Amino acid sequence: MTISIGNDHAGTAYKFAIIKHLEAKGITMINHGTDTDNSVDYADFVHPVANDVENNTSEFGILICGSANGVAMTANKHQKIRAGLCWNKEIVHLIRSHNNANILCIPARFTAIQQVIEMVDVFLNTEFEGGRHQNRIDKIPLSC
């Protein structure tokens, strides 16, 4: 499995913890995020992650910023992306099982690193339920 990850300055420590955790499980990581705490623009790191997921370079994406709102809004501009903002495992389970989310957006300023590691594991281990949820997902993309 390959996962793309991106972050702004608020999520650098979280990104490194996630990468260490997932690489220990044999998962290949593509790092599109900043590696410092210097202020950056989150969109510069979101689009490469979303492109990887859209183009099937990565099965999933993970995005981290202070509130996760900016990264979620930016990622969801891509037609094939379903990015969900989560701050606990229960919401993570729902974005995968009901919404078939392919990018997890994490608010670094409102979560702890150990909590985020658990959220990532739930994200990667939860299957999409399909059925009535697929009908709803089919209505998400705009058809202009």
CATH of the domain at 78: 3.40.1400.10
The catalytic residue among 78, 86, 98, 105 is 98
Tell me if 117 is assigned to some domain: yes
Q: Are 49 and 18 in contact (CB under 8 A)?
A: no
- Rounded distance, CA 70 to CA 123, Å? 20
Whole-model pTM above 0.85?
A: yes
143 pLDDT exceeds 70?
A: no
Is 144 annotated as catalytic? no
Tell me if 73 is assigned to some domain: yes
Nearest to 128 by CA among 118, 138, 115, 142: 138
Number of domains in the chain: 1
Nearest to 33 by CA among 9, 3, 56: 9
Is 105 annotated as catalytic? no
Tell me if 55 is assigned to some domain: yes
The boundaries of the domain holding residue 119 are: 2-137
Tell me if 144 is assigned to some domain: no
pLDDT band at 144 (very low <50, low <70, confident <90, very high): low
The catalytic residue among 65, 78, 86, 105 is 65
